[in-house]
Amino acid sequence: MLASSVVAGGLVGLAISFRNLPDVRVLQTYSPTETTHIYDINGRPLASIHDEANRDVVPLEKISPHLKRAVLAIEDSSFFTHKGINPGGIARAFMVNLEKGRTVEGGSTMTMQLVKNLFLSPQSKFSRKVAEAVMSIRLEQILNKDQILQLYLNQIYLGHNLYGVETASQSYFNKSAASLTLAEAAMLAGIISAPEEYSPFANYKLSKERQEIVLARMKELKWITPEEEAAARKQKIKLGKITSFGGSQVPYVTEAVVQELTRRFGRDAVVKGGMRVQTTIDLRLQRVAEDTVKAWHDRLYYRGLFYDYDQGQIALAAVDPRTHFVKAMVGGVDYKKSQFNRAIQSRRQPGSAFKPFVYYAAFATGKYGPDSIVYDTPVGYRDGDGYYYPQNYGGGFSGAVSIRRALEVSLNIPVVKLGQEIGLNKVIEICRILGIRSPMEPVISLPLGAVDLTPLEMAGGFATFANNGWHSDTTFIVQVTDSSGNVLLDNTPKPKLVLDPWAAASVNSALKGVIYSGTATAAQLGRPAAGKTGTTSSERDIWFVGYVPQLSVAVWIGNDDYTPMSYGATGGTIVAPVWRDFMSQALQGVPEEDFKPPSAFERP
């Protein structure tokens, strides 16, 4: 009677404890965490982003039959006949462990392994094993065998931060799980019980021994013939490489993409959500941009432009005016030495490269055109307790000049006068319309670039001029889908006419002269192009922002610590040749196209 009471009490205790077990019904809608993959605009892989688990989830039909049989053979050959637990397997494991005096065989079904990995602690205790059994029986009541097998094959850990058979197949054998041969499938199945120990990357000989055990078990079960076993044993295995910790091909770009994704979806969705991200980046142009920046940095350093190799930096941003897609972006000379992205994070004064925004504002009033006369004569403005007297670079005055000529030779005084006449708040409003978000104040020297902007803002703003006033939001991302192909984000361009077309065409007409006969003759491409140089006081920042109808590119050069570069360094002498070098390569195969003249549009 006492024994019966103890047993009854134990059963009641177990029943009460099982009421507190996790609810396996959540697995009906469970999705394992997945790796996010980032591609260029043509589908070429750029990077993979994941949290702890590097995993690609695939449906059961996209897993090789060889692999499914191999895993079942070595892990749970009775999987399709048991109801979650296998009493015979448990009894056999108990006898083997008793004989060996230690735990050498588990007796767990694949359903029990799945429950343990998803819900329970890894500690090998009797209570946990009982909980596994109870939850496995419950799971088999709500999911069919194929659903459980698919979950298992996508969930299991296979070493080197590889989760699920698809990611492991890509890493170990450089092919999808659907394409595995019998020999490869048996090797992969063989490492499940101790992935770090049996991994072919860690110990190929031991991995080969495990493969042969799996093949022997498959033959024993008559799932393969002796001839198939012999052929698989002899097949030479060609290994891939560990992919979990591979870096990005273009780290400045992928970091920017991840930032944009995180703002929209949150960090967890990016590192665990299995997104497929098509970026706007053209990998060919990106490589051209990186090579151009590196080559010119070295060249300019040895010319003495920079006092320190690592302090001297170059940033480049290239935007397609027709879509406002970012086609290439270089945030610095060497990402390994500095992860600071100067193309989107560094705000530097653009100097005279800012002037086109002021001249557009003047053109948009209808009172001025490229050939209107302005006066380059001395002027002073009250500024706080004193006066501000704008000066031209190099000094002197030119008297009455056309706006076209004032832009070509980058006169300062006329644009300051126009800024005061039009209103600096109007200039700031136009910059906001063009997507420039950096802080701005209506100070008298704003028309001379007394504001801190990023290269991407400059490239995006000029891109709207290039497209005759049509504007879309500048972006790094074309489209985002989940791993099943459902669209999460579609950045198909939706251009809006935000500028007066005649005024924009007038800017283009005037800026063509900067390259043909002004401060940027070193930027000539042998095809129609427009642009503007920028040089700040003491040569701390030098710029060239130029464009053709198909591509707008901003290039900035300076020292990270804001120290001046060598005397006489200007946007026209130093940066324009860098821009020309990049554009000459980027535009290979791109048809020559001219800007529409102002006469093609109605004047406001």
Return the active site residues.
Answer: 75, 352
Query: How many H helices and E strands in the chain?
Result: 21, 18
Cα–Cα dist 397/400, whole Å: 9
Question: Whose CA is closest to 89, among 66, 112, 67?
Answer: 112
Cα–Cα dist 163/575, whole Å: 48
Sign of CA dihedral 291, 521, 512, 434: positive
Q: What is the 3-state secondary structure (H, E, C) of 393-434?
A: CCCCCCEEEEHHHHHHCCCCHHHHHHHHHHCHHHHHHHHHHC
Question: Which tokens belong to 547?
Answer: 């464009």
Question: Whose CA is closest to 316, among 411, 455, 423, 160?
Answer: 455
| Cβ atoms of residues 578 and 520 within 8 Å | no
Cα–Cα dist 33/147, whole Å: 17
Question: Whose CA is closest to 432, among 464, 410, 407, 455?
Answer: 464
Cα–Cα dist 461/260, whole Å: 19
Q: Beta strands 470-471 and 496-497: pairing type?
A: antiparallel
Cα–Cα dist 173/180, whole Å: 8
Cβ partners under 8 Å of residue 421, min gap 6: 362
Question: Whose CA is closest to 357, among 467, 443, 432?
Answer: 432
Cα–Cα dist 473/18, whole Å: 55
Neighbours of 471 (CB within 10 A): 23
SS3 state at 348 = strand
The DSSP element (H or E) to which 9 belongs, if any, is helix 2-18
Cα–Cα dist 579/290, whole Å: 12
Query: ∠ CA 454-458-464 to the nearest 5 degrees?
Result: 145
Question: Bridge partners of 471?
Answer: 496
Cα–Cα dist 150/152, whole Å: 5
SS3 state at 36 = strand
Measured in whole angstroms, the distance separating CA 224 from the mean position of its chain's CA atoms is: 45
Establish how many alpha carbons lie within 13 A of residue 232's alpha carbon, considering only the half-sphere containing its beta carbon.
28
Which residue type is seen at 160?
Answer: H
Q: Name the burial class of residue 77, with classes exposed (0-12), middle (13-18) and buried (19+) by CB atoms within 10 angstroms of its CB.
A: middle
Question: Bridge partners of 386?
Answer: 383
